Structure 1
Amino acid sequence: MDTWLVIGLGNPGPKYAGNRHNVGAMVAAELVARHGGGSFKAHKARASVCELRLGMGPGGVPGPRCVVAVPSSYMNESGGPVSALLKFYSVDVERLIVVHDELDIPAGVIRLKRGGGEGGHNGLRSITKSVGTKDYLRVRVGIGRPPGRMDPADYVLRDFSATERRELPFVLGDAADAVESLVSLGLVDTQQRFHAR
């Protein structure tokens, strides 16, 4: 059974841990936490990784092998670690899933797609450049637009508001469900399930 690589994007260190821009890394942590027994380990590709089985196969058998990883580089240098992990685990780019924050989607809404533009997202831009294609799967976690005239760059590097933090466990759970559904059921079925909400 072919391996999947699931990348949760974020910036390293406690200063950024609660930022909106780190929601991808939070989803990766949720996936590892719900499959108890695993934990992140440092990898030479400049990332923290955990190998586990995600989703459910026919008859309730455990789903495919997945490497869940969070690059330990800054967001705008995510491509190097992603490219190195694809090579190390011999994962085809068709089985790369990148989980990231998305300004153009309302807060808390999950959307999925393969390919498309980067929408000014430096993490996606770096990955596309390093892997040589835009044609990878994305789980886009909506964070909404900044209020008033706030610069989007400042907005993404701020922590979630108190109201957003109350909803955050549900949002992270939905995004983790979307990743598991992608590896079990594929893109179209997962889009139908999540985009109908």
Structure 2
Amino acid sequence: MKVIVGLGNPGRKYTKTRHNVGFMAIDDLAKSWGEKLKKHTNFRAEYTEVIRDGEKLILLKPLTFMNLSGESVRAVANYYDLDSEDILVVYDDLDLPAGTVKYRKSGGHGGHNGIRSLIDQLGTKQFNRARIGIDRPPEGKAVVDYVLSKFDKREMDAIQDARENVVRACETWVHDDFDRVMNQHN
């Protein structure tokens, strides 16, 4: 079993913000697989189980707000007795140009509070990541205001391409190990 987690914040006001690009990618994946996510109280998340080519997958959007995302992921990992290598987390990254996607198997939090929460809750840095670049804020704009703002029109095409890349990478991960994902989709 594998879990694909998109990080973001719940609520309408955050729906199309930069910080919610992980949620957007999970919605794209659910749509491409003909699935709908439903609230799961015990996991404090929107959640669905999917069978793809004989592989059981879970799509997860924690509803704990970004800074507590790890609590939801830990609940799922504990319930299903998952290894951290069976988790893929999709999230926004300020250090990558808008629309760039980078995959890796481990690492630090890089200042991202959602990833910090996952590392704390899982007790490891060893989980797969899909980092979607959102670029740095313009000079004079606070990071928190920037990540909680919506993409502008010039960024939308690049972000849509990045989300499509994540969907293709997840399809690859169904059949192969994460090394193949990194080799094909980075």
**Could you state the TM-score of these two structures normalised by the residue count of structure 1?**
0.89
| Structure-1 residue corresponding to 2:19 | 21
Deviating above 3 A after TM superposition, structure 1's stretches of 4 or more consecutive aligned residues are none
Correspondence 1:179-194 to 2 at 5 A: 179-194=170-185
Maintained 8 Å contact 1:63/1:184: no
Aligned to 1:39: 36
> Do the aligned partners of 2:98 and 2:158 also contact (CA within 8 Å) in 1?
no
Aligned residues: 185
SS at match of 1:67: strand
Aligned residue identity for 2:2: W
**Percent identical residues:** 37
> Is the 2:71–2:121 contact (alpha carbons within 8 Å) kept by the matching residues of 1?
yes
Match of 1:124 among 104, 115, 122: 115
CA distance in 1, matches of 2:128, 2:174: 11
In structure 2, give the amino acid aligned to 1:101: D
Q: Provide the secondary structure at the position in 2 that maps to 1:78.
A: helix
Match of 1:57 in 2: none
SS at match of 2:12: coil
Partner Cα distance (1:192, 1:166) in 2: 24
User: What is the deviation of 1:93?
Assistant: 1.3
**What TM-score do you get using the length of structure 2 for normalisation?**
0.94
Q: Secondary structure at the match of 1:81?
A: helix
| Preserved contact between residue 110 and residue 139 of structure 1 (Cα < 8 Å) | yes
Does the 8 Å contact 2:99/2:160 carry over to 1?
no
SS at match of 2:14: coil
Question: 104, 117, 130: which one pairs with 2:95?
Answer: 104
Please state how far the C-alpha of 1:149 moved relative to its aligned partner: 2.9
Residue from 58, 69, 73 that aligns with 2:64: 73
Gaps of 5+ in 2: none
Look up the equivalent residue of 2:66 and give its one-letter code: M
